[in-house]
Every structure is written in C-alpha cells, then in structure tokens.
Amino acid sequence: MGIGPSTKETSLHHFRDPLLEVVAEDTDIDLMGILLVGTPDGNKEKMLVGTRAAVWAEAMRADGVIISSDGWGNSDVDYTNTCEQIGIRGIPVTGLNFSGTVAKFVVENDYLDGIVDINKSVDGTETNVVGENNMVRLDCLKAKALLKLKMRQKERQEGR
Amino acid sequence: MADEVKDLRRLVIKAFHMTEVGWGEHNDITVDGQMTVSKEMIEKLAAEEEYLEKIDIQIIKPGDHDRWTNTIMDIIPISTKVLGRIGDGITHTITGVYVMLTGVDVNGKQCHEFGSSEGNLKEQLYLNRAGTPGDDDYIISFDVTLAAGMGQERPGPTAAHRACDKFIQSYRDKLKKFKGEKCTERHEYHDIVRPGKKRVLIIKQVAGQGAMYDTHFFADEPSGVEGGRSIIDMGNMPIMVTPNEYRDGIIRSMQ
C-alpha cells in the first residue's frame, strides 16, 4: 500500500474499488482496462515506469485516462510525471490524489488541472486513520465528469 | 456489426453472509452464516516463518472497537475461486466479516515507516469505506509479532501476509464447496467493449518502493498471496488487467 495510513488502499478496497464501478457502469465510455503501475524508489525509475504507462495509453489510442494514486509525498513524483507524459501525448487526463493542506504536489506541471483532491480530514492532514482519506464514489464521479469535459474540449479544438 | 456492444467474459461473485462469529475448536464456516475461529493453526504458522515470532487472533464484534491495535497492514476479504481463473467464472466471497492484518516487532516497533495506525481501534479505523469494514461487520484480527527489525525489511511483512493467507485458505477451502444457490447476494459482471464510445483507460498507481511498500498480483486465489508476484520484482513496470480481473481481487496490498 501507499505511504500514509489514511490514504492506503487495502486489498478490500481493490476488491470493491468505486473508481472501477463508476467508469465501468457508464454506457458512454468504452473502458479499455486497468493499468497497474508501481512506484519505484529511484527517481530515474519513477520517470521510466510512468513514461511506459503513458506509452501504453498512446498505443491503445486512449481518448482519456483517469489516474489514481495510493499514497502521497514521494509517490507524487511518479504521479505528476505520469500525468505529464500522458498530457504531452495529447491525451486528456484527470485523476484522484490526496493533497489536503500537507500534501500539495511536490512537483507541478501543466497537466494537473483535472486532479480531484480526495482529502476528507477536517484540517487536510495525514490523520493515520485507515480509510479516512480514501477515494469515495463522489470523488470518482467528479474525476469522470472532468475527464468527459476535457475530452469534449479536445474534440472542439480539433473541430470534430 | 461495428457498433454492437461486445461481451468478452462474465464473472459471477456469490456472497455468503456470516451472521455469527465465535470461537470454536477448528476454523469453520457454514452456509447458514455461522463462522467459528480457532487458534489451533497459529503456532504452526509462526513456526513455518523464519521472521515471525508470534501470531495472535482476536474476534472483534461489530462496534467493539474500544481496544488497542497494532498498525493496520491490510484488510482482506475472504474469497475463493470456484470455477475459472481470477477474472472469469465463479467466485465465492464472505460478507459480514473481514480479516485485519496488523504487525509489530518484538521490540514494539510498528510495521510501518511513514506514519502508522497503531492506537485505539475506534480512533484508527474509518468504517464504511470501500476498503474498510462496515458498522455491522465482524473483524478477525490477525496480529503478527515479527523478529527484531523485520517490520521494516521486505521479508518480514511478506511473511506476515503469507501466514495470514494460509489462515484464510482454511476458510476458502470450505467456502469453495458451498452450494451456489444458497448465496445471500449474487453479482454478475461483464468485460464489455462499447465500440464508438470514448475509450478510457484507468491507471492505478500502487506501492512498490521497497521494504513493506509492495503490491502483489496474480495470486492463485482472490486477494491472496500464494502464487502472487511482487510489482517490485517486476521492476514496477505497468501491467494491464481487465475490469473483471481487477474486481475479482487480482491485487493484494502488501502493507
């Protein structure tokens, strides 16, 4: 699981993941699959695996990507890079990430405007309460709505 | 037909609800919702693992959370394949009770590195999330004591998960034989292609930094350990799974 007890996704979470259900139930979406990518320790490796994930999305001709993260802080380096790599390939990307007040992105770029903050704690901190800052269905609906908006904007820009 | 929805495969998950969980001579579950828990396995499970000193099991009744807990490493559903492989066929799962794996080493150092969740359980566990038990659920606490310092070394937490998985397997072996028609809930899931619709990919970033930050895939049983592969060993490289594989428990969170 990720770094930080309140954001960690348990095996039970993966078994009943709201993000999958929100995307899979939508008849306007052709869900291609779920790409699982790790969070290596080294910076070079972080860039490598995130870039490979973005290449997968491009090769699959994805119209859009929703990316979630288990953990915060160190793993934001992976997260922001993967968002950027997807973004520079012209693929709309939104996602879910814990920020609150303590975990604003340690690295920023131009492709993070569709990321929903899944913080639930009152003061926006890592509370060490298991499950508290997990994504819930409403977060996933927001990320999906944002993605639909971005995909439409792209279509308009391309004059389709 | 180009625009027709294409059904690739079907997964049926049948849930069996447990209404009573109590101590008994052996681990057992019955189709009418009785679960018994025994400590008979735990000495052997600890002895089989070099880095485990001790295991304790507790039954935590719904709402009875005013008690000490070591840091929570995982919360695990009890599920088993009845037909097919993970992602298709039939799975049986138990509702009403979930297994909570916790860990500490012999010197009292919690099995965690960046923040830990030990303390009073009622303050450390947020109920009713996708990944946590609900108000009315029982919890079986599987609490592991690791050898000194092994809570921060990869083989320690892996051993804890492996021992916990063997404990869960004793229930899976019985759950497998339950008559499907006796289930309390039945869910049917399809991997489908919707041609002409927006093609969306979900990317899930999971832990793989090392030590206890690890994620396993492809175990023999849903949300299992045996037969699984570590994302660290696979270089943290992206791995594609189908929606049905994902919702059938292809991931085990290792910390």
Q: Which residues contact B133 (CB under 8 A, 6 or more apart)?
A: A12, B75, B98, B100, B125, B127, B139
Q: Which tokens in the block code for residue B232?
A: 């660290």
What pLDDT does A74 receive?
A: 85
Listed by start position, the domains of chain A span: 11-153
Sign (positive or negative) of CA dihedral A16, A17, A22, A25: negative
pTM score of the predicted model: 0.96
Please determine, for residue A42, whether its predicted confidence score (pLDDT) is greater than 50.
yes
Q: What is the pLDDT of residues B153-184, one digit of tens each?
A: 999 999 999 999 999 999 999 999 999 999 99
Asked if B244 and B185 touch (Cβ cutoff 8 Å), the reply is no
What pLDDT does B143 receive?
A: 98
Higher pLDDT, A47 or B210: A47
Q: Which residues contact A144 (CB under 8 A, 6 or more apart)?
A: A22, A23, A26, A29, A66, A94
| Phi, psi values for residue B212, rounded to 5° | -85, -5
Asked if B227 and B220 touch (Cβ cutoff 8 Å), the reply is yes
Q: What is the pLDDT of residues A83-138, one digit of tens each?
A: 999 999 999 999 999 998 887 887 789 999 999 999 999 999 999 999 999 999 99
* Interface list for B 16-55 with A (CB within 8 A): none
- Can you tell me the distance from the alpha carbon of A124 to that of A118, in angstroms, rounded to the nearest whole number? 10
Q: What is the pLDDT of residues A66-87, one digit of tens each?
A: 999 998 888 999 999 999 999 9
Q: What is the pLDDT of residues B118-141, one digit of tens each?
A: 999 999 999 999 999 999 999 999
Q: Does A33 touch chain B (CB under 8 A)?
A: yes
Residue B47: Cβ within 10 Å count: 11
Residue type, A65: V
ipTM higher than the 0.90 cut: yes
Please determine, for residue A15, whether its predicted confidence score (pLDDT) is greater than 80.
yes
Asked if A130 and B72 touch (Cβ cutoff 8 Å), the reply is yes
Residue B226: Cβ within 10 Å count: 14
Nearest-neighbour CA in chain B from A70: distance (Å): 6
Mutate to test the interface with B, among A6, A7, A12, A46 (most CBs of B within 10 A): A12
What pLDDT does B2 receive?
A: 58
Helix axis angle, A43-59 to A74-87, nearest 10°: 30
Contact assignment for B204 to A4 by CB distance below 8 Å = no
Give the nearest chain B residue to A149 (CA atoms). Answer: B198
Contact assignment for B114 to A35 by CB distance below 8 Å = no
What pLDDT does A1 receive?
A: 40
Contact assignment for B207 to A38 by CB distance below 8 Å = yes
What pLDDT does A72 receive?
A: 86
Contact assignment for A38 to B76 by CB distance below 8 Å = no
Asked if A76 and A97 touch (Cβ cutoff 8 Å), the reply is yes
Q: What is the pLDDT of residues B195-250, one digit of tens each?
A: 999 999 999 999 998 878 899 999 999 999 999 999 999 999 999 999 999 999 99
Chain B neighbors of A11, CB-CB under 8 A:
74-77, 223, 249, 251-253
Q: What is the pLDDT of residues B38-86, one digit of tens each?
A: 999 999 999 999 999 999 999 999 999 999 999 999 999 999 999 999 9
Contact assignment for A32 to B246 by CB distance below 8 Å = no
Residue type, B34: Q
